[in-house]
Amino acid sequence: MAGCDMAPRRCARRAALAALLMSVGDVGWAQSDTAPAAATVRQTTAVGFYYSRGGYGESRDTRIRYLPVSHEVAAGSWRIKATVPMLEISGPANVLVNIGSVGGFSGARAAQVSADGLGDASVNLTYEVPAWSASAPFIDISVELKAPTADPHQGLGTGRMDAGVQVDLYQLAGPLTVFASAGFRYRRLSPFYAGLENSFYGSLGVSANGSDTLQYGLIYDFRQAASAFTGETHELLPYLSWSMSPSWTLMLYTVSGFTEDSADFAAGMQLSRRW
């Protein structure tokens, strides 16, 4: 990739980390060393845009526009990232960003037409496990806290703080990088959305370099039902990443869902600047 002054394994890890942005709105770009923690502090600022449209078993489509802004600070084996998004939802209030279709309500709120405002902010802390050999996979362990900054009365959030834990693995396989993630999301009971449940999720993906500046890949994403009233989701996410310079990167992706609780169409982008 352009401007990548790290060893190939380190570049592959950075590319795979960026590919895992496919959890909606939770985007970021990170780089890591296989060597012990260095004193250098690295920073990344990113802005993204995500749009989705789907019926989710309702008579009217739900449309979502999501604009997250994030800043990450990395030092040695640690990274911390804060994300603050703006959000617009149009349609029945049964779909939540980063949760999905929750269903299970009726009455006036089901007739909601549109709402916009601040989404739920989040803070993510990641530890990069040092590689124990030249051929060992990379392993990252992350914890996340979600603050209920979105207005639940407008259907923009649950009104409760959530937490999650995730493990990511990356492995070189010839010209490809294979990566996977598995996580668990803890959700507090919400007075606005009955039936919310804790859930597991996982992803499996592969990436390759098309040139020194282009990297592309495909991700399969599974999410357990987040509510007693809905089902699990299965999605495919192809993506393309372009390193425009040593500091600037643009990523584009689309989403194809295979269940009623997935969006009929979704696409997004992220522009990031490394400091």
Would residue 180 count as lying in a domain? yes
Q: What local confidence, expressed as pLDDT, does residue 225 receive?
A: 93
DSSP state of 130: P
Would residue 1 count as lying in a domain? no
d(CA 80, CA 163): 15
- The domain that holds 31 is classified in CATH as 2.40.160.40
d(CA 66, CA 263): 14
Write the CB contacts of 110 (distance below 8 Å, at least 6 apart in sequence): 92, 93, 94
Lowest-pLDDT range, 72-86, 90-104, 157-171, 252-266? 90-104
Would residue 3 count as lying in a domain? no
Would residue 182 count as lying in a domain? yes
Say if residues 209 and 215 touch (Cβ distance below 8 Å): yes
Q: What local confidence, expressed as pLDDT, does residue 2 receive?
A: 38
Would residue 2 count as lying in a domain? no
The total number of structural domains in the chain stands at 1
d(CA 97, CA 114): 14
Q: Encode pLDDT of 101-153 as tens digits.
A: 887 654 445 556 688 999 999 999 999 999 888 788 899 999 999 999 999 88
Q: What local confidence, expressed as pLDDT, does residue 102 receive?
A: 85
Would residue 227 count as lying in a domain? yes
What are 145's strand-pairing partners?
123, 163
Question: Cβ-count burial of 191 within 10 angstroms (0-12 exposed, 13-18 middle, 19+ buried)?
Answer: exposed
Domain housing 83: 8-274
Q: Encode pLDDT of 9-67 as tens digits.
A: 444 444 445 545 443 333 333 333 444 444 589 999 999 999 999 888 777 888 999 99
